């Protein structure tokens, strides 16, 4: 049986409610910027529709205000609870979907984008091709290699590739209080669009869940854990900036569910574990097991 969206209200009551929505929508009619007018009027319509659909109680309205107030209080330069909220509601991924449409007729599909997350840092150190991003972060060494091309398959030399990831305890450097810079770097693709670096095999970790968003996840029986991933941001002149991650094939958290809905099939890569003693691509001597993966990056044209 299909559930009705909300209990029926009398025609008179529905009229009162609709009149208020119309009044608030009309209050934005004089907004000089047409886009702002569109945003405010659509927001009003959807917000009012939500309140009417769920028949929001005044107590629930108060709880929502308290929740947003707590999100504001915990937010500072290092912690952004509103972005976390957007992430766990899928609003971040929906915005990314709307803004990163597939390029029609492309010979090669542009690499899919996913959430940025709160742990990017602007001034990560530069490494040469084949360099190591770990900077002391612990984890299994992982050789990452690939190419950067456009959607016609032309190599993109000099693309700036930012990479960042958590250590094997599930923490980014910025979550430690000692100012360390680890598990992040940037490098540039070579003349043939190739790149390679040593990173760490990614591990699953929870998003910060000691605040109101964490409480909301607990109350709704949802896990804060993200599927294991390695972040990339790739920029090149004339091409659309790509913010994405790669995920680890076989990571059980992919099936369980990524807390911010970031996983896309095309971004799940094989991370092949190599036993200790297997020669490394660059002759580096490693004491134990290591892994390797390949990620070929295709950038869409700017404005596509």
Residues at the site binding Fe ion, with contacts judged by CB under 5 A? 117
Q: Is 184 in the site for ligand BEZ (CB under 6 A)?
A: no
Tell me whether residue 119 or residue 195 sits nearer to ligand BEZ (CB atom).
119
Q: Is 202 in the site for ligand BEZ (CB under 6 A)?
A: no
Q: Is 224 in the site for ligand BEZ (CB under 6 A)?
A: no
Tell me whether residue 117 or residue 204 sits nearer to Fe ion (CB atom).
117
Q: Quick one: what does residue 205 bind among ligand BEZ, Fe ion, none, with the CB cut-off 5 to 8 Å set by partner type? A: none
Residue nearest ligand BEZ, Cβ-based: 117
Q: Quick one: what does residue 298 bind among ligand BEZ, Fe ion, none, with the CB cut-off 5 to 8 Å set by partner type? A: none
Tell me whether residue 81 or residue 150 sits nearer to ligand BEZ (CB atom).
81
Among 103, 115, 161, 196, binds ligand BEZ (CB under 6 A): 115
Nearest approach, Cβ of residue 241 and Fe ion (Å): 18
Nearest approach, Cβ of residue 141 and ligand BEZ (Å): 21
Q: Phi first, then psi: what are they for 38, rounded to 5°? A: -60, -45
Among 28, 75, 118, 171, binds ligand BEZ (CB under 6 A): 118
Tell me whether residue 119 or residue 143 sits nearer to ligand BEZ (CB atom).
119
Which tokens in the block code for residue 126?
A: 């530069």
Sole window of 112-120, 182-190, 196-204, 215-223 interacting with ligand BEZ (rule: CB under 6 A): 112-120
Residue nearest Fe ion, Cβ-based: 117
> Can you spell out the DSSP letters for the chain?
-PPPSS----HHHHHHHHHHHHHHHHHTTT-SSHHHHHHHHHHHHHHHHHHHHHT--HHHHHHHHHHHHHHHHH-SSS--HHHHHHHHTTHHHHHHHHHSPPPTT-SSPPPPP----S---TTPPB--TT-B--TT--S-EEEEEEEEEETT--B-TT-EEEEE---TTS--GGGSSS----SEEEEE--TTSEEEEEEE----EEPP-SSHHHHHHHHTT---EEPPEEEEEEE-TTB--EEEEEEETT-HHHHH--TT----GGGEE--EEE-TTSPPTT----SS-EEEEE--EEEPBTT-
Tell me whether residue 124 or residue 156 sits nearer to ligand BEZ (CB atom).
124
- CA–CA gap between residue 13 and residue 185 (Å, rounded): 59
Binding mask 77-106 for ligand BEZ (x = CB under 6 A): -------x--x-------------------
Tell me whether residue 266 or residue 278 sits nearer to ligand BEZ (CB atom).
266
Q: Is 260 in the site for ligand BEZ (CB under 6 A)?
A: yes
- CA–CA gap between residue 121 and residue 231 (Å, rounded): 12
Question: Could you tell me how many residues of this chain bind ligand BEZ (CB under 6 A)?
Answer: 9
């Amino acid at each position: 049986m299909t559930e009705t969206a909300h209990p029926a209200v009398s025609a008179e009551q529905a009229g009162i409610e609709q009149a208020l929505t119309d009044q608030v929508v009309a209050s934005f009619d004089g907004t000089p910027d047409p886009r702002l007018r569109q945003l405010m009027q659509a927001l009003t319509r959807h917000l009012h529709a939500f309140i009417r659909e769920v028949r929001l109680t005044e107590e629930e309205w108060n709880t929502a205000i308290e929740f947003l107030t707590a999100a504001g209080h915990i937010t500072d330069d290092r912690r952004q609870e509103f972005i976390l909220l957007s992430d766990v509601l899928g609003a971040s991924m929906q915005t990314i979907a709307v803004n990163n449409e597939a390029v029609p007729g492309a010979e090669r599909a542009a690499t899919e984008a996913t959430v940025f997350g709160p742990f990017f840092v602007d001034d990560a150190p530069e490494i040469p091709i084949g360099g190591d991003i770990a900077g002391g972060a612990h984890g299994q060494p992982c050789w990452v290699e690939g190419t950067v091309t456009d959607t016609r398959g032309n190599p993109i030399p000099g693309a700036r590739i930012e990479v960042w990831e958590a250590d094997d305890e599930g923490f980014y450097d910025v979550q430690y209080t000692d100012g360390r810079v680890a598990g992040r770097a940037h490098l540039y693709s070579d003349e043939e669009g190739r790149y390679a670096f040593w990173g760490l095999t990614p591990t699953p970790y929870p998003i910060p869940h000691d605040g109101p968003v964490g409480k909301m996840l607990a109350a709704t029986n949802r896990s804060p854990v993200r599927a294991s991933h390695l972040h990339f941001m790739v920029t090149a002149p004339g091409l659309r900036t790509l913010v994405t991650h790669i995920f680890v094939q076989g990571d059980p958290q992919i099936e369980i569910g990524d807390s911010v809905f970031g996983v896309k099939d095309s971004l799940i890569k094989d991370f092949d574990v190599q036993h200790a003693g297997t020669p490394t691509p660059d002759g580096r001597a490693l004491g134990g097991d290591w892994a390797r993966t390949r990620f070929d990056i295709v950038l869409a044209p700017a404005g596509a």
